[in-house]
Structure 1
Amino acid sequence: MGAFACARTLAGSGRDEDAVRAYEAHARGVKDFVKAYRADEDSAWTSEAWYVAVDDARALAQRADEALKRGGEKPSKLADAGSTLMLVYRAVSQTSTAEKKAPQLHVVNNLFKVYFKLNALHLCKNLINAVNLPTFLPFDSFPKSEKVTYNFYVGRLAVFEDAYERAAEHLEYAFAHCHAQSARNVRLILQYLIPVKLILGTLPSRKLLEKYELREFVDVVEAMRRGDARTLDAALSDGESTFIKQGTYLILEKLRMSVYRTLFKKVHAIHGETADAAKANQVSLAKFQTALAWCGADDVDLDEVECIVANLIFRKFIKGYISHKNRVLVLSKADPFPSLQSVFAD
């Protein structure tokens, strides 16, 4: 345990060279602890120490990498911490003693944090597979906070894989079970849950956005509600740096097709009120052009409108076909505008 004490002393000095040495000392301590933990079947009482050791390993590695960057060197300690934490995971998993397995999910969650920080998302699949193994402790046996963290990262991973229904399932779990007073964590969950729900066609309330200070989504939601592509473009432009930092910009860009769908659905509804019943599902492309112009896209010609509509049909946002000769969209009489949830079904 001398290596851990050495690491704490070095970490407290505040010097960059000591930050690197602190991590290296701590990593030696972890590896020695792993050997002792494996060798002694009666060491279950020490399993609590892994929670601190694992958190410190990741924190010290990040500080060491920051110090290396300042010195003009390549950061490498967080990647090394990932390998070190895998040793810990094997030590707490490859045992028949349930008490010694207690830190399993905590280690997995820290590995998620490491892999997301390193943008090594392909390694996260192995963690999910490990949690689903029969040798892993029952998921419900872990503390609520650990289960929330796990679902948050699994949900985020699903977002990057465009598996929006799966993402919603895990992020909704995290949102529902996160401590109500942990406003910062709730806000972090919502930064990913809101874009996912928007993709699936569910709009958050203004009250929710204001409660958790998520004002960057206000105009995005309004654009979805009104079918206003101009408002969406402005919202994405204004919040670009925020959305890129969150990792949600590309998801929100996909809302453009949903916005067009909303706008054209409104055009169809208005057309149906005035047209003959026999032609209620035959909408002139010129009407869509007028609607787009109302939203500020007054430079879109009929060819571009036809291209937008064709894209909506191809991506299954709309059911129907285009009569190119007559410049008319002929909509299906059965569910011409499928739900967004069915469009983005996993």
Structure 2
Amino acid sequence: MNEENIITRKINCLRSRYEEKKLKFNDNDMINKNYEEMLDKIEECVKLRNGYKICFILKLSQIPLDIYIIDNMNENDIRRMIKKKNNHNHNNHNNNNNNNNNNHNNNHNNNHNSNILKPFEQLILDHFNIIKILCNKNNINWDTLINTSCKFLSTFLQLYCDNLWLLPYLLTICSFLNNISTLADSYSTCNKNDIYNEENEDINNKNKYTIEVLNSIRGKIGIVKGDIEKHGGFVILMFQSIKLCMKLNNMQITSSFLKIINSTDINYSYIPTSFIVLFKNQLGKLYLQKLEYEKAEREFIWAFSNSKKSKIEFRKIILESLITIRLNKGLYPPKKLLQKYKLSIYIDIIYSIKKGNIFLYNNVMNNFSNYFFHKGLNECIEQIHFIVKRNLMKIVVDWWNKIIQENNQQNKLYKVPIYLFHHIFKWAHITQHHSYLETISIITSLILFRYINAYISYDNNILVLSKNDPFPSLSHNQGPR
């Protein structure tokens, strides 16, 4: 038998508490007394066209009813309840019509209102089936859960195309699919302990459920791409697809996503700002991963400027990305800003850059490499070592020029012997094997990536720097020559 997963453990714990009658209904927990009450709330949401409220009623991260009720219900029970409710509404409307002698148009509207849940029946059934699978007493069948959840997304999108107010729930569904596929893959991988099993060598097999969910979500993008009124759905599906691709480290597919985005004239006027912020932040992360810092910075600035100030943790995530990009440009954030968002980790990095202190920089990287990797900032942060070395070299060059001027040897200004850098690099443990060729290689890299304007005179073993602009502005650094 497969290892019991965290969801099953929690559900069974909840089930035992119910059996002991220790858990009572609490309206604050959004748990409904019965399914009829839940249907009433859904109906009210449909009448009010409230997409945000329906996210709470049809939650996927929390069971909506007493676990005992779910255990003793099936899909047919839900169908009967919906039918009964529609019939009840229909009879009430007929009585009102007989009493009020309404005209033909009103009769048509009343008949429509009496069957208000009919178009939502399959969505409600799919939601129930997902909850039922999650509440299985023994263990979750991941194949069934992922298939049912992907079907749920398809059912929802058919509804969304005629009910654009449902947009917030699309984000709820996609986030659930994203999280549950990750969990499913983690347990699926854990249960394959045979190191000689060839399946364990297949990365696609290890991420089987995530790939299935990605294909399901990205396969729906075409449905909402053409109509500008549905661009809210386009943005959410694209944002989630990019997020899944980055999780799979499949950057090839993300390139095709960027082509679609750039070829689509997205009408943001139909999209709530909070969803655009999520989209822009994810685009920023993608560009950051591709080392396209200018584009990443532009997306992060928009996301940070338009995010709610009350969302401190979310703003902190965006701000960290912006800080790492700007540090590569030699731009330093105010100390008060770092303290406000509890980002003191960057104070040492800033000091190491300003002073060319490679020891301090390496110390930060050794202690916080996992932190930066988890945040997706590792590649951007690692680029800073070039700047630290550049600024260390600047200190050496300034010292050399001062000595030369004191000795009135103007012809040797900005012509620094390589051995000086070699001794400094050895002292700072910048060169791993302390060889002269390593020093040459490091300096060549700094020239190639435009951190310094210079060339190496191999005949004389000196570094000849530009007198006009030996250390160009980092903000103009555009990569290798």
With the shorter chain as reference, the TM-score category is 0.7 to 0.9
SS at match of 2:342: coil
Q: 2:20 matched to which residue of 1?
A: none
Q: 2:463 matched to which residue of 1?
A: 329
**What is the Cα deviation at residue 193 of structure 1?**
2.3
Matched AA of 2:292: A
Counterpart Cα distance in 1 of 2:287 and 2:427: 36
State the number of aligned residues. 340
Larger relative contact order (CA 8 Å, sep ≥ 6): 1
Counterpart Cα distance in 2 of 1:107 and 1:339: 40
Cα 1:62/1:307, change in 2 over 3 Å:
closer
Counterpart Cα distance in 1 of 2:230 and 2:454: 60
Q: Does 1:226 find its partner at 2:226?
A: no
Q: 1:59 matched to which residue of 2?
A: 179
Matched AA of 1:60: I
Q: Does 1:279 find its partner at 2:412?
A: yes
Q: Does 1:115 find its partner at 2:249?
A: no
Counterpart Cα distance in 2 of 1:300 and 1:320: 23
**What is the Cα deviation at residue 335 of structure 1?**
1.0
Alpha carbons 1:285, 1:329 under 8 Å: kept: yes
**What is the Cα deviation at residue 47 of structure 1?**
4.9
Counterpart Cα distance in 2 of 1:287 and 1:261: 14
Counterpart Cα distance in 1 of 2:392 and 2:219: 54
Could you list the per-position Cα deviations for residues 163-186 of structure 1 after superposition, in whole angstroms to 9, with x for gaps in the alignment? 222222222222232222212112
Bigger shift: residues 14-23 or 100-109: 14-23
Matches within 5 A, 1:138-217: 138-139=267-268, 141-217=270-346
Counterpart Cα distance in 2 of 1:306 and 1:265: 16
Q: 2:209 matched to which residue of 1?
A: 77
Counterpart Cα distance in 2 of 1:63 and 1:199: 36
Matches within 5 A, 1:289-304: 289=422, 291-292=424-425, 295=428, 300=434, 304=438
> TM-score when scaled to structure 2?
0.62
Cα 1:103/1:265, change in 2 over 3 Å:
same
Cα 1:301/1:87, change in 2 over 3 Å:
closer
Counterpart Cα distance in 2 of 1:169 and 1:307: 33
Matched AA of 1:89: I
Cα 1:310/1:28, change in 2 over 3 Å:
closer
**What is the Cα deviation at residue 120 of structure 1?**
2.0
Bigger shift: residues 215-224 or 283-292: 283-292
Counterpart Cα distance in 2 of 1:266 and 1:140: 52
Cα 1:252/1:60, change in 2 over 3 Å:
closer
Counterpart Cα distance in 2 of 1:258 and 1:127: 33
Alpha carbons 1:16, 1:67 under 8 Å: kept: no
SS at match of 1:17: coil
Counterpart Cα distance in 2 of 1:304 and 1:28: 58
Alpha carbons 2:171, 2:236 under 8 Å: kept: yes
Counterpart Cα distance in 1 of 2:149 and 2:318: 31
Counterpart Cα distance in 1 of 2:191 and 2:435: 56
> TM-score when scaled to structure 1?
0.84
Of 151, 165, 168 in structure 2, the residue corresponding to residue 28 of structure 1 is: 151
Counterpart Cα distance in 2 of 1:251 and 1:46: 38
Counterpart Cα distance in 2 of 1:237 and 1:301: 24
Alpha carbons 1:165, 1:345 under 8 Å: kept: no
Counterpart Cα distance in 2 of 1:10 and 1:303: 63
Of 328, 338, 341 in structure 1, the residue corresponding to residue 472 of structure 2 is: 338
Matched AA of 2:323: I
Matched AA of 1:5: F
SS at match of 1:180: coil
SS at match of 2:219: helix
Q: Does 1:313 find its partner at 2:443?
A: no
Gap runs ≥5 in structure 2: 1-121, 193-204
Counterpart Cα distance in 2 of 1:102 and 1:308: 48
Q: 1:288 matched to which residue of 2?
A: 421
Counterpart Cα distance in 2 of 1:100 and 1:297: 54
Could you list the per-position Cα deviations for residues 287-314 of structure 1 after superposition, in whole angstroms to 9, with x for gaps in the alignment? 4356546656699566554443333223
RMSD of equivalent CA atoms: 3.1
Alpha carbons 2:390, 2:451 under 8 Å: kept: yes
Alpha carbons 2:133, 2:141 under 8 Å: kept: yes
SS at match of 1:330: strand
Matches within 5 A, 1:120-135: 120-134=250-264
Cα 1:343/1:75, change in 2 over 3 Å:
closer
Cα 1:88/1:265, change in 2 over 3 Å:
same
Counterpart Cα distance in 1 of 2:219 and 2:440: 57
Q: 2:140 matched to which residue of 1?
A: 17
Matches within 5 A, 1:93-112: 93-95=225-227, 98-112=228-242
Counterpart Cα distance in 2 of 1:49 and 1:310: 54
Alpha carbons 1:50, 1:103 under 8 Å: kept: yes
**Bigger Cα Rg:** 2
Could you list the per-position Cα deviations for residues 304-336 of structure 1 after superposition, in whole angstroms to 9, with x for gaps in the alignment? 544433332233222222334443322112211
**What is the Cα deviation at residue 152 of structure 1?**
1.8
Matched AA of 1:115: C
Alpha carbons 2:447, 2:454 under 8 Å: kept: yes
Gap runs ≥5 in structure 1: none
**What is the Cα deviation at residue 14 of structure 1?**
7.4
Matched AA of 1:68: S
